[in-house]
Each structure stands twice: as structure tokens, then as C-alpha cells.
Amino acid sequence: MNAWIGSALALAALVMGGVLMGWQGVILALTVVVFWLLLQFSRLMRVMQAANGAPVGRIDSAVMLQSRLHPGMKLMEVLPLTRSLGAKVEGREEAWAWTDAGGVRLELQFSKGVLQQWVLQRPPEQGTPTGDGEAGAT
């Protein structure tokens, strides 16, 4: 949820609680807002705890992860899919990479925590010549 929308809803709940029920309504609305924030914090901690158990930047299958991605996903939606934290891509802001056991690398580009694009990089095939200027498939 957008931070502005969440703030507006919390303020509206406080105002409506005060108008309809007086100071008890404000306390009730404040309790609901704090409970909602605790739920979000708990969700964040569960995702981070699950990602903590895996090596940084490693996933089971980069191709399977790529098939589950779509533009507009938030970082908090991507982390449960990877079950690990991504490795920071040098020279690019908000870019993270994951590599699987076969050497396939998936680089994700975020903007303000929202997935914008991704690139799947396969390792060059062993035993196939690449002398005609072509690199491995991307």
C-alpha cells in the first residue's frame, strides 16, 4: 500500500473515531492502527528470517523464478519467492542478482522498491564456439 494512502486512512480513522465516539473512539482507532503496523512488522520479520537461512544471492532455479516475476512486484513479494537476499549489483542502484547452481544469473532492477525489469543471463555453453561475435543467450 502507498504510504500516503495508509497515512490518510489512519488519520481518517482517528478523526472518525473522535467524531463518532469521542475520546474512546480515538483510542480505539489508535489501537487498530498500531495493531496494523505490528502485523506489517511481523510479516517483514518472517520474510527476513526465512531469507536469513540461505546464502546471499543463491536460488534453486533462476528460470523458475523468472517465470513467476511480473513488473510492479514489490521487493517484499520477491523475497519469499527467492528465499534468500540478493547480491548487490555493482554500479547500479537498487539492482540485485541471484544465481542458481547451473550458473544462470537473474538480475532484478527495482525503483523505490518496485520491480521494473529483469535480465536472465545464461552461462556460455561449454564446447560451443563463440568466435563469430555472439555471446551466450541472454
Over the range 57-68, which residues count as b (16 or more CB within 10 Å of their CB) and which as e? Answer: bbbeebeebeee
Q: Over the stretch 109-138, which tens digit does the pLDDT of each residue have?
A: 999 889 999 999 998 876 555 544 443 334
Residue with cell 518496485: 114
Q: Over the stretch 22-75, which tens digit does the pLDDT of each residue have?
A: 999 999 999 999 999 999 899 989 988 888 877 888 998 889 999 999 999 998
pLDDT of residue 125: 77
- Higher-pLDDT residue of 98 and 52 is 98
Sheet holding 114-121, edge to edge: 87-88, 95-99, 105-111, 114-121
Choose which CATH entry (1.10.10.10, 3.30.565.10, 2.60.120.920, 3.30.1450.10) describes domain 56-121. Answer: 3.30.1450.10
Domain locations along the chain? 3-51, 56-121
DSSP string, 27-47: HHHHHHHHHHHHHHHHHHHHH
